[in-house]
Amino acid sequence: MMGSTGSKLRAFTAAIAATLVAANAAWAASPAQGGSAVFDNLIFVVIGGVLMALLASVAGGVVIAVLANSVSRFFRRNLPTDEEMAELRAELREVDQRRPRQIRIEITPSAEPFVFSAIGFVACFIIFSLALSAVPQPVRGEAMPHGEEAKPAESAALPKEGDFGKITDGLPKGDPENGAKLFNTAGCVGCHSQKKGERLVGPSFYNLWNIAETRVPGMSAREYLYQSIVDPNAYIVEGYQAGLMQQNYAAILSPQQMADILAWIEARHKDEP
């Protein structure tokens, strides 16, 4: 057992705190967050976290505290008595004197709350992750149609000629900050410079939004950029070869990520002098 009411209270508080952190972490890492735009929905993280923590700490916290007590009692049964411990300590002290550099770690009753909260954290994290992944997640700002899942079918659509307007209009609201991250993580940075006139494997993104507007008559900047990413060979920039740009972005980028990249290009590379 935990010895005193004080340490019981500590263990319980630690369990609640761990539950709160676990709920938040699980929520933040859930598919709804795409694993990346964690802080985009800070309000949701806070409100959701607090609500979940309230619910979970009442239910989960009590369960965990009770379980932890039983576990503790079980292991305590097999622990040495106080006298045996005193002997062991004396022996250890002797060993320590002979080997002064050796580091000894003891798990004392006061460490229990931390052990329990670690167990609680892992348990809650798993439970919340499972619960969250079972629920169809709404994408920011718009509800996901019932039954539709975030599978390859959800990756950026590869449209037929003329469909781009419909597709780009249907994209979710883009987040330029995440777009900036994707520029690095999706590999664009390896082939595209952002400096004026700097040619890497592909053309520079300098003033790209304005350039995109003029590339293909009848295509808006959004439409052209979307096409250039999901179907690079549809239009080859003069002076470059077909087939050089990575060809599988339609399969690996989600509509949200496409929207983020487009939003970033518009925010960062429009009307550059």
Pick from 46, 187, 214, 247 the residue near ligand HEC by CB under 6 A.
Answer: 187
Examine residue 190 and tell whether it contacts ligand HEC (CB under 6 A). yes
CB nearer ligand HEC, residue 130 or residue 191:
191
Looking at residue 272, what DSSP letter applies?
-
Pick from 144, 237, 250, 267 the residue near ligand HEC by CB under 6 A.
Answer: 237
- Give the largest CA-CA distance in the chain: 90
Nearest distance from residue 183's CB to ligand HEC, in Å? Answer: 7
Rg (CA), the chain: 28
Examine residue 232 and tell whether it contacts ligand HEC (CB under 6 A). yes
Nearest distance from residue 269's CB to ligand HEC, in Å? Answer: 10
CB nearer ligand HEC, residue 8 or residue 215:
215
Long-range pairs, 140-147, Cβ under 8 A, ≥24: 140/37, 140/40, 140/41, 140/172, 140/173, 140/256, 141/172, 141/173, 142/172
Nearest distance from residue 196's CB to ligand HEC, in Å? Answer: 13
Using alpha carbons, list the distances in angstroms from residue 48 to 17, 57, 129, 137: 15, 13, 14, 14
Pick from 14, 28, 175, 192 the residue near ligand HEC by CB under 6 A.
Answer: 192
Write out the two tokens for 272. 């550059």
Using alpha carbons, list the distances in angstroms from residue 71 to 6, 7, 28, 107, 110: 19, 16, 30, 15, 16
Examine residue 16 and tell whether it contacts ligand HEC (CB under 6 A). no
Examine residue 211 and tell whether it contacts ligand HEC (CB under 6 A). yes
CB nearer ligand HEC, residue 131 or residue 186:
186
Residue among 65, 28, 62 at smallest CA distance from 43:
28
Taking residues 157 to 186 in sequence order and writing x for each that binds ligand HEC by CB under 6 A, - otherwise, the string is -----------------------------x
Using alpha carbons, list the distances in angstroms from residue 220 to 10, 111, 115: 61, 62, 58
Which residues of the shown chain bind ligand HEC in the complex (CB under 6 A)? Answer: 186-188, 190-192, 201-203, 211, 215, 225, 228-229, 232, 236-237, 240, 244-246, 249, 261
